[in-house]
Structure 1
């Protein structure tokens, strides 16, 4: 019997999906690519492959998991297997610079961003030229979960940080991004969830505690980064809140068109609104997780309107289509 193969490197993120899959009787199996050996001269198993490789895999000791996944996805597509979030999606997952190019090509606004090779002198020079006196955001090109994202009140604060930063802070792909700090009306961002390329719901995320915005419960590690020289504020409300009103139709249509053009089936797309209320997109997460608490409060947990529920239904339809083609 054909089944869904979930490609991943972090089993801690699987239980909510496993529960949704099992609820509808969806046959599935794990394909852990934290490490692996594959015979490229043989054919892959039949089934539908759902790629959940994460840009942050290197932070869990899986430095080459994304590279291994790229090779496996090429093998799968060469043999005509249906891959959800295939090679094009992985390419965007591991590079914010490539995300931004694709977003702008789709007519979406992004914050002003400067690409810098891992060199402190070049970073400081670029920050002085483009962002002085500040503030300025520093983030790795390949990150995930908001890890390594820091806000500096001034270019001088950035320079002082770089002078004392340990070598292990260097970005895994050797590329830093300097980015505009968007002054929003409220300290929140919005994360819009899409399954099968279609909008499911949007979550408002409180950012007063920092930039580590992974919605999964297992991401609540308490090590989010805050503006240098400030103390984290305690959110006055739940950090993740499902928006009943969703997002405006023109933005939703643009985001869906971006996903279709980019070969992305499942994603969480994060954006912030400037002082005029205009959205700027700054991150695309093709390895999306969902916040169970927010879904519970919204009354959608365990239903097809939840993230895991919508994903289970989508994968079941894909598997059924694959089985009908093979019949």
Structure 2
């Protein structure tokens, strides 16, 4: 029997999708690919395959999940199976350099960025960037891993040459223009089936770990303020800026069906996309308030794709 195969490496991030698939009565199977074996002479099962492997898998001791998944996706695609977020999406997920080049190719503006390998090269890249304030981040990261803001080149030098320096898992550190927003928030744009679903305003006043999954936000759902507490995640009403068309074009060009694109607006009104998540999660509290449910829309989309291949 044909079914939906969900390729992943984190059980906590599949729970809500499983509930929605069960509600719809759609047959499914979970493939946890932190490790395994693959007979390249075999043929895949019938059905559709939804890839949600994360760039942050190494932070859960699943260091080679993306590499193993890439092998599995090559096998599936070789046999003509329908893959949601296939090998091109995976390459974007694990490399911000790939993301920025693909975004720029679709006419989407990203912050000025220099990629560097080696401590000396990181310091040289900061000088070449020519900014008084700038950000470092890991090329392959997730949940804001490795993101730090520096206001001087001396502070960067002390970090790079000190014991607290954090080596990226792929060795590539990004030096990036610091985009100063007039207010501490970013907008995360959610897409299902390559089409815009909603935008969620994310409070960044407490830092850069912006994972919206319930498993990430149990401890930090609300941030302290002088007045009543406010939700960290808020879905925006009647929100569809003109640049959404270029975001959808980017997804189509790169064969990405399900994703979130995070963007920030500077004081002059310029909008920069700076991160693409192809294993997107949703915040239940924010969705309950807005009455829109990402995992339900995703389950319905997967169901429609399964029906398409079986008929």
Asked if 2 retains the 8 angstrom alpha-carbon contact of 1:131 and 1:155, the reply is no
Among 251, 255, 261, the residue aligned to 1:259: 251
* 1:28 equivalent in structure 2: 28
* 1:96 equivalent in structure 2: 96
Distance, in Å, in 1 between the alignment partners of 2:63 and 2:219 is 23
Distance, in Å, in 2 between the alignment partners of 1:163 and 1:245 is 48
* 1:296 equivalent in structure 2: 288
Secondary structure at the aligned position of 1:322 is classed as: helix
Change (3 A) 1:220 1:164: farther
* 1:123 equivalent in structure 2: 122
Asked if 1 retains the 8 angstrom alpha-carbon contact of 2:137 and 2:173, the reply is yes
* 1:243 equivalent in structure 2: 236
CA shift, 1:234, in A, is 3.4
Structure 1, unpaired ranges of 5+: 224-232, 301-305
Secondary structure at the aligned position of 2:231 is classed as: coil
2:141 aligned with 1:143 = yes
Number of aligned positions between the proteins = 306
* 1:321 equivalent in structure 2: 308
TM-score by length of 1: 0.90
Among 267, 271, 279, the residue aligned to 1:279: 271
Distance, in Å, in 2 between the alignment partners of 1:66 and 1:200 is 27
Asked if 2 retains the 8 angstrom alpha-carbon contact of 1:142 and 1:172, the reply is yes
2:231 aligned with 1:234 = no
CA shift, 1:136, in A, is 1.0
Distance, in Å, in 1 between the alignment partners of 2:291 and 2:246 is 28
* 1:199 equivalent in structure 2: 196
CA shift, 1:221, in A, is 7.4
Once the two structures are superposed, residues 52-104 of structure 1 have per-residue CA deviations (whole angstroms, 9 ceiling, x without a partner) of: 01001111111111000000000001111100000000010000001000000
CA shift, 1:220, in A, is 3.0
* 1:84 equivalent in structure 2: 84
Once the two structures are superposed, residues 277-321 of structure 1 have per-residue CA deviations (whole angstroms, 9 ceiling, x without a partner) of: 221000000010000010011122xxxxx1101101100000000
Among 310, 316, 319, the residue aligned to 2:297: 310
TM-score by length of 2: 0.95
Question: Superposition pairs for residues 39-50 of structure 1, below 5 Å?
Answer: 39-50=39-50
Asked if 2 retains the 8 angstrom alpha-carbon contact of 1:34 and 1:62, the reply is yes
Distance, in Å, in 2 between the alignment partners of 1:51 and 1:129 is 38
Instruction: Tell me the C-alpha RMSD between the 2 structures.
Output: 1.5
Say which is worse superposed, 236-245 or 101-110, in terms of deviation: 236-245
Structure 2, unpaired ranges of 5+: none
CA shift, 1:222, in A, is 6.2
